[in-house]
Structure formats: structure tokens, C-alpha cells
Amino acid sequence: MSPAEGVLRDLLRRLFPDEEPELDELTSGGANYTSALYGVRLPSRRLFAKVANIGEKMRAIMNAELLYSTEQYVYERLASAYGQLQRDHAVPSDECFVFPKYFGGNPVVGEETVLLEDLRDRGFTTPDRFASVDWEHARSAVTALARFHALSFACARELPQLHAEAVRRLTAAPREVQDEGAKLAMERMVRGAVEVVQDEQHKRKLMRAICLDDYNKEFTKFRSPLSVAVMTHGDYRPSNLLVRRVDQDRRSAEPTGPATRHHRATWSRGRELETMVVDYQTVHAGCPAADLLYYVLLGTDEPFRRDHYRPLLRHYHDQLAMALRRLDIAVDDVYPWDTFQSELKQMVPPALLMAVVVLPLVTVEASLAPATDGDISKFALPTNSLFADRFNGVLRDCIAWAEL
């Protein structure tokens, strides 16, 4: 029995003393790097468990205690408060932001565990992490993101003490990487990204934009608020989003943009895509635009962005306005369009650095995914053709969007 399995069985005995569990070790296919994953079958229900499995050295480098405690804080404090806010405002169930059901956890350092419902029982599946999302998936994901952000604005207004507590607890400290292995890994990641860039002028712009001598500052900027502190997800990409199709009698406002005809054809089937957000380890007080940029740069390819980037920005802000209106807040009072546009542009350079670091993990084959056993150099992955194609597109778009 592995240490992680032993920790999980101890927790299950405490929470469900009269039920004998059956465990299935699960794989994320290279999408998860911080936890051992298990399916849990009990006589009364099926559950999903995440158990900490980071080595001691990596714990310090990744500040893992904060990752694990943040996820439990979100489920135990924010999820219940956000749910009550939606009930107080009588938000229709199909327009709510919904968290997975949480059954408990273990906060002990080295044994951190969260126990959730098994979303597979409700028909949720994980998209292919190697494929660019299509408009339908992007639209659903961005709708969920806007609703999540709207609840933070509402919490700040109606539950100011809780919001202030969350901001204090989840504000990113200045990032200082002291480990020499981590610094070397970062240099290798940057070198790998530069080597795949096809245009020499773009290479020079990339090096200026990411400012390798002060990349800690760029990481901190990406995780910091600009005009307003909002609870942001911090790792909003397709691997952390589960989807299913549901029957919907009600429909939101018709979509806008160049692909409207396609949207209407999709909706006419009567089966709408629903997105469930998971993995709240990186939630922090940050900038809403950063969450959206992160999703766009890591979840879409250049052809998608050419056709849908501007409509997706408008869709986000429209959905934010609708979600806020259901909570009796006017979007122009808290996050007007001009502010959103300005913050998007400011966040492009640090978002580009995030792409340098995270996109290799998104595109790596499962067999080559790094282990969190203490050797940080393993995260400096060799580049492949998928990374090269996706990153060149990301760089071209970032240069255009922020006039780098």
C-alpha cells in the first residue's frame, strides 16, 4: 500500500466508519502534478480523492502547503458563502456557478487530502488536453469563469469581512526562486521557447518581453490585482474543466459575433454544454483579465483566436454583466469594459511568460510528464512539434495584442 493510499484510507475510516471502500488509482494523463488521484467506491456513493504526493524538496520550491490549504479553504469557506449568495439573490439553478460537492479533507502537512463527488457519475468528462478548444467549449468555459468572478465581486460587497480575509490569505507574496535547480530549469524553459521561434524579430521581442533577469517580478505581476482584487482561479485551462451535455429548457441571450449562425445550429440540438470547474489549489486575489488570458493562451490555437478572440472577450464581459446583474450589481460600477480592456493589455507580457512555463506541460506526452519527486530540472521539458506550433502562435498574438 502506498503512503497516499494509507492516508486516504485513514480519512475514509473517519468520515465513513461503517462503509468499506474500494479504491481505484487514477491517472490524469499528464495533467496533474501535485496529487495522487483515486476513485472511491462506497456502498452509499462514489467519490473522487486527491492526496498530496509532492516530495519534500519540491514542497518548498512550489510552496505546496499553500496549494493544498488553499483548495480546502475554497471548498470549506468560499464555496458555501458563494452558494448562499446565489440563493439569497434567487439566481436560477442553470445560471449558478456550482462547485463539486465536498465531503471533507485532511489538512495535516504531508497528508493533505480533499474528498469530492465523482463527477463521472453525472456524466462529466475531461476534454482532450492536446486539442485546441472549439467555440462551444470556449463559450461555456468563459461563461463559468465570468460567474466565478461575479461571485467574488458580490462577496466583496455583501460579505466584506470574508472577502478581506480571503484577500489577506490568498494574496501572492513576491516570488523569489532561490533554488539553483529551479533557476536552471527556468533558464532551460526560456531557451527551449526561444529555440522554436521561427522569426528572428519575434525572438528579440520575446526576450525583451519576458525579461529573464527579473522573471520573478513578472510571475508576481500575473498573480496580483490591478484595479480590483478578485478571487481568480489561477490555473484556468481545459485540464481543470470538466464538461457534459444537459437538456436546457431555458436559453440565455443569443450569442454575438461572426460565428452566431454556428452557435444557433448547435443550440438547436437542445443539448447545452455545461462546464464544471475543478482544482482550486491556485485560487488567489488577482486580476480577472489574467484568468481569461491564461485560458486563451493555454487552451486555444492561433486559428481559433483569429476567428474568435474578440468575440470571446465580449462574451466574457457580457456574461460577467449578466451574472453581476443577477446579484444586483452593475458591471460598470465594478469592472467596466474599458478597465477590462486596459488590464488585458497590461497582463499580456506576464501571460506570455506563463505560456513559456506552462505550455510545455500542456503539450507533453503523458509518458514524458515530470514527476514531483524533488528534481525540479525535470520540469524543463524537451519541446515537441505541438509546443512549437502553439507557442509561435501565442507569441505572434501577444505581440499584436500588446504591441510588444
Can you tell me the distance from the alpha carbon of 279 to that of 234, in angstroms, rounded to the nearest whole number?
10
**Which domains occur in the chain, in start order?**
120-402 (3.90.1200)
Q: How high is the pLDDT of residue 32?
A: 67
pLDDT tens digits along 227-283: 999 999 999 999 999 999 998 654 444 333 333 333 333 333 457 999 999 999 999
The pLDDT confidence band at residue 322, using thresholds 50, 70 and 90, is very high
User: Is the model's pLDDT at 201 over the cut of 90?
Assistant: yes
User: Is the model's pLDDT at 51 over the cut of 80?
Assistant: yes
Q: How high is the pLDDT of residue 369?
A: 75
Which of 113, 29, 24 lies closest to 361, judged by CA? Answer: 29
Q: Which of 53-62, 78-87, 377-386 has the highest mean pLDDT?
A: 78-87
Q: How high is the pLDDT of residue 203?
A: 95
Query: Above pLDDT 70, what percent of the chain?
Result: 88
Angle, helix 260-267 to helix 135-158, in steps of 10 degrees: 90
- Cβ atoms within 10 Å of 1's Cβ, excluding its own: 8
Residue in the structure block whose three cell numbers are 506550433: 389
Backbone angles phi, psi at 244, to 5 degrees: -155, 165
DSSP labels for 322-391? HHHHHTT--HHHHS-HHHHHHHHHHHHHHHHHHHHHHHHHHHS-GGGPPP-SS-GGGGSPPP-HHHHHHH
Can you tell me the distance from the alpha carbon of 156 to that of 159, in angstroms, rounded to the nearest whole number?
6
Share the mean pLDDT of the chain.
89
- Which alpha helices (H) appear in 50-101, and where do they start and end? 56-62, 64-73, 79-88
- Cβ atoms within 10 Å of 363's Cβ, excluding its own: 21
The predicted model gives 18-45 an average pLDDT of: 88
Q: How high is the pLDDT of residue 342?
A: 97
The pLDDT confidence band at residue 56, using thresholds 50, 70 and 90, is confident
pLDDT tens digits along 328-346: 999 999 999 999 999 999 9
Can you tell me the distance from the alpha carbon of 191 to that of 206, in angstroms, rounded to the nearest whole number?
11
Q: Which of 143-157, 215-229, 359-373 has the highest mean pLDDT?
A: 143-157
Q: Which residue has the higher pLDDT, 241 or 374?
A: 241
